[in-house]
Amino acid sequence: MKANWHERFSAEDFQYKTVPTLILFKDGKSVWRQSGVVPAHTLEGIIKQYV
């Protein structure tokens, strides 16, 4: 999935200060957030919780 979110949102909208910051959205709401690197297998598990 590719999203051009930078055209619609800014860092202030989501209150993040470090890169990378991963934010998972469900139904338009932030349901999970992590600053820093997340291993792929961990990220897959987190996504499965919300799907």
Note down the domain range covering 24.
5-50
Q: How many domains does the chain have?
A: 1
Structure confidence at residue 21 (pLDDT): 84
> For the segment 6-45, what is each residue's pLDDT rounded down to a tens digit?
556 666 666 666 678 888 999 889 999 988 888 999 999 9
Q: What angle do CA 19, 24, 3 make, to 5 degrees?
A: 75
The residue ranges of DSSP E strands in 1-51, in sequence order, are 21-26, 29-35
Q: What is the pairing mode between strands 21-26 and 29-35? A: antiparallel
Residue 2 clears pLDDT 90, i.e. is over it: no
At 35, the amino acid letter reads S
Q: Write down the pLDDT at residue 20.
A: 83
